[in-house]
Amino acid sequence: MFSIEELTDFIVEAKSRTYVGGGAALPACRPGSRDIGHQRGAWSYLDSYFGGTDFAGQETVWHGGNPRWAMNYFGRIIRPDLIDAERAGAVIKTALQTMYRDRRHFLGGTRYQHAYGCYVDSSRGATDHFSGREVIFVDGEEAYELDYRGGLIVP
């Protein structure tokens, strides 16, 4: 078995080495999906999503080949006149890199000012069960939003 701390550490590691870290794409596991993953020992992680400017996805962690944790998300550009997908991605990647490196966690409580906008991530709960929202404000206006929810998968 594993502890919640081990799981959380692996999630932060995997997230920092995949989307945020520019990890290599994997072959699509479903028609039209974009997939990226990470493995270490008994742990494996897959982020599989659809879309671009508006997108939906799921991150899953397996331990010993068994699914143990998942997070679903949906994000979109609300104000394309204020931010595009490329700039939103730059803000998100920089903010999350900082959060993973400095705070060693992946849930909320983060505010990051970037040249393209102000990133704010707020959540409730912990690794075992949580929900949250990330937004990017440009000139005081909400220009991007993403809602997420997840937790432990208990057999």
d(Cα 131, Cα 143) in Å, to the nearest integer? 20
pLDDT score recorded for residue 108: 84
Order across the sheet with 129-138: list the strands. 25-26, 34-40, 43-51, 54-63, 66-77, 141-152, 129-138, 117-126, 110-114
pLDDT score recorded for residue 125: 97
Where helices occur in 42-139 by DSSP H, the ranges are 85-103
Residue 66 above 90 pLDDT? yes
Q: Torsion angle of alpha carbons 57, 98, 151, 62, nearest 10°?
A: 70
Residue 6 three-state SS:
helix
Q: Are 105 and 12 in contact (CB under 8 A)?
A: yes
- Read off the pLDDT of residues 16-26 as tens digits, 9 standing for 90 and up: 999 998 899 99
In DSSP terms, 72 is beta-bridged to 58, 149
d(Cα 28, Cα 11) in Å, to the nearest integer? 21
User: 52 — phi, psi (to 5°)?
Assistant: -145, -90
Residue 109 above 90 pLDDT? no
Q: Are 110 and 104 in contact (CB under 8 A)?
A: no
- Read off the pLDDT of residues 141-152 as tens digits, 9 standing for 90 and up: 999 999 999 999
CA angle centred on 145, ends 132 and 147, rounded to 5°: 30
pLDDT score recorded for residue 62: 98
pLDDT score recorded for residue 51: 95
Residue 27's pLDDT band, with cuts at 50, 70 and 90, is very high
| CA-atom Rg of the chain in angstroms | 15
Work out the average pLDDT over 137-142: 98
Query: In whole angstroms, what separates CA 116 from the centre of its chain?
Result: 19
pLDDT score recorded for residue 103: 79
pTM of the model: 0.94
